[in-house]
Structure 1
Amino acid sequence: MTVLDITQHGGTAVLTMNRPKARNALDIELREAFARALPTLRDDPTIRAVVLTGAGEHFCAGGDIRTIGSGGSQGDIFEGRSRIVAMQRWFDELVDLEKPVIAAVDGVAFGAGLSLALAADFVLATPRATFCSVFARVGYVPDMAAMYLLPRAVGLARAKQLAFSAQVLGAAEAEALGLVHQVVEEGRVLDAAMALAQRFQHAPPGAIAIMKSVMNRAFESQRQDVYRQESLAQALCRESDYHKQAVRRFLAKEPAAYQWPEGR
């Protein structure tokens, strides 16, 4: 049994955290599995979208407290820093993956589990899903980029409230804040995530990659910087085979290869 199952269904890769007895908490083995998997997903042109989910009844309960131990048992203080830096490397790969990432959340998404959800471009959740920046309960600060991603998802004031209080959010509350894209009925969240991922099968991969890359950095960019990125990106897209085929279809009055269904 692997701690991170990877399957491919057409153009969709499904990553399933597979430690259900530990509520899919991130231990060293699972972190290392993410580090190995993400470069492969990045470099495989047959993968158009990624679905991230957890085995069993939960998404991810955060860091495995049994492997974290108490502050006095970790050896040299720089060892702890090195472990966080190693985690940040593969987590950046997930955040910056130039393909749509969809989190299918059931049960808890606490601590680092919340960060994994925040790394996704779309979060689908069941009504029983709960979200919590739980770090303050154990005297930690939010890690795995939560202090960067959470304010961008829900706004600075709300992010402070959630981080300072370690308040638990239900799925409906998370949807109202914009943290969750859609609440899906019990037992259907993975199917809904797969259906959403399938919508990108015929999307322009180069254009999607550039959109995600630019938007991920938009809050740190000056407007004129985005203009420059926009002009270079549009020049690239204009010469792509995808664009040329789309123009041919338009002029021939053929349906577009990529059309988003009505609704969500």
Structure 2
Amino acid sequence: MTDESLVLHSADNGVSWITLNRPEAMNALTWDQRERIIALLAEASAGPEVRAVVITATGKGFCAGADLRGTPSTGRERIPGDVARTIRLGAQRLIGAVLDCEKPVIAAVNGTAAGIGAHLAFACDLVLAAEPAKFIEVFVRRGLVPDGGGAYLLPRLIGPQRAKELMFFGNSLSAADAERIGLVNRVVAAEELEKTAREWAERLAAGPTRALALTKQLVNASLESDRATAFAAEAAAQEINMTTRDANEGVASFVERRTPWYEGR
């Protein structure tokens, strides 16, 4: 199968749909798939016609983690530094691409999200989960340290104690429990997942795109900033945002008592 068939892509109403398509492998992520997702997210950031992104998958699994069998071989014995380099240039690049995407990214989790698959979902700005979905910090089951940004993402989302519980035990977490502890925004029936993701994404795509991008940057940086730095970044972001057409349209529509029409510029 080609890279294009393993990661499906379509664009509709300003939304870029990225769909993992290896259902027979529970969408375990290959090297080629990862690189294609990173490229599509970069295209979404740069393309003014794209105003929101949805990441989802076919079949019963969202992403069962990394497919280590699909990793290109160097043809030599592993030496110290190889593993760290592989993680830095691989899983961490993928998670960074989601966090740094200049458009809002929604995860529509249709089934099992394990390991890097769970972290791919948690890196997204909003997470929708179908009722059958489950999340597994599978690393401990294999004697591994969580990678792909897990120890960075989870404490920020649910606090260190709950993050340690998930990572120490590696238990399967249901969609309902993931929503209860704050890892998921909303759980919906499986047959409603795509419809809900489309509604959310199209609502975002009709919004003030640059304001959303700047808001995303501020929120993502907030937990690593002191108050003075956060306030300075907020003021700078608003200064930049006020140069956009959409900000001027928003203010004008308020004064004129009409619904704003945002163009994403």
Could you tell me the TM-score, scaled by structure 1's length? 0.91
Give the counterpart letter for 1:92 in structure 2.
Answer: G
Equivalent residue, structure 1, for 2:144: 140
Q: How far is the alpha carbon of 1:22 from its aligned partner?
A: 0.5
Equivalent of residue 5 in structure 1, options 5, 8, 12: 8
Equivalent of residue 230 in structure 2, options 226, 235, 246: 226
Alignment of 1:71-90 (within 5 A): 75-87=78-90, 88-90=92-94
Cα distance per residue 1:108-137 (max 9 Å; x no partner): 001111001111111111111000111000
Instruction: State how far apart, in whole Å, the 2-side matches of 1:20 and 1:229 are.
Output: 43
Cα distance per residue 1:160-188 (max 9 Å; x no partner): 00000001110110010011111111222
Equivalent residue, structure 2, for 1:217: 221
Cα distance per residue 1:43-88 (max 9 Å; x no partner): 11111110000111210001124447xxxx9633433322211112
Equivalent of residue 115 in structure 1, options 110, 113, 119: 119
Give the counterpart letter for 1:30 in structure 2.
Answer: Q
SS of the counterpart of 2:63?
coil
Over 3 Å counting, the alpha-carbon distance change for 1:240 and 1:42 in structure 2 is: closer
Aligned residues of 2:141 and 2:170 also touching (Cα < 8 A)? yes
Give the counterpart letter for 1:54 in structure 2.
Answer: A
Aligned residues of 1:95 and 1:119 also touching (Cα < 8 A)? yes
Aligned residues of 2:154 and 2:163 also touching (Cα < 8 A)? yes
Moved more, 184-193 or 89-98: 89-98
What RMSD in Å do the two structures reach over aligned CA positions? Answer: 1.8
Structure 2 residues without counterparts, runs of 5 or longer: none
Aligned residues of 1:74 and 1:80 also touching (Cα < 8 A)? no
Instruction: State how far apart, in whole Å, the 2-side matches of 1:181 and 1:41 are.
Output: 23
Equivalent residue, structure 2, for 1:156: 160
Equivalent residue, structure 2, for 1:196: 200
Could you tell me the TM-score, scaled by structure 2's length? 0.91
Aligned residues of 1:11 and 1:46 also touching (Cα < 8 A)? yes
Equivalent residue, structure 2, for 1:32: 35
Instruction: State how far apart, in whole Å, the 2-side matches of 1:228 and 1:149 are.
Output: 24
Over 3 Å counting, the alpha-carbon distance change for 1:123 and 1:74 in structure 2 is: farther
Aligned residues of 2:27 and 2:62 also touching (Cα < 8 A)? yes
Instruction: State how far apart, in whole Å, the 1-side matches of 2:77 and 2:34 are.
Output: 17
Identity of aligned residues (%): 37
Q: How far is the alpha carbon of 1:230 from its aligned partner?
A: 1.2
Alignment of 1:56-75 (within 5 A): 56-67=59-70, 75=78
Instruction: State how far apart, in whole Å, the 2-side matches of 1:249 and 1:94 are.
Output: 32
Moved more, 246-255 or 138-147: 246-255
State whether structure 2 residue 130 is matched by structure 1 residue 126.
yes
Instruction: State how far apart, in whole Å, the 2-side matches of 1:67 and 1:75 are.
Output: 17
Over 3 Å counting, the alpha-carbon distance change for 1:77 and 1:3 in structure 2 is: farther
Aligned residues of 2:61 and 2:112 also touching (Cα < 8 A)? yes
Structure 1 residues without counterparts, runs of 5 or longer: 259-264
Q: How far is the alpha carbon of 1:235 from its aligned partner?
A: 1.7
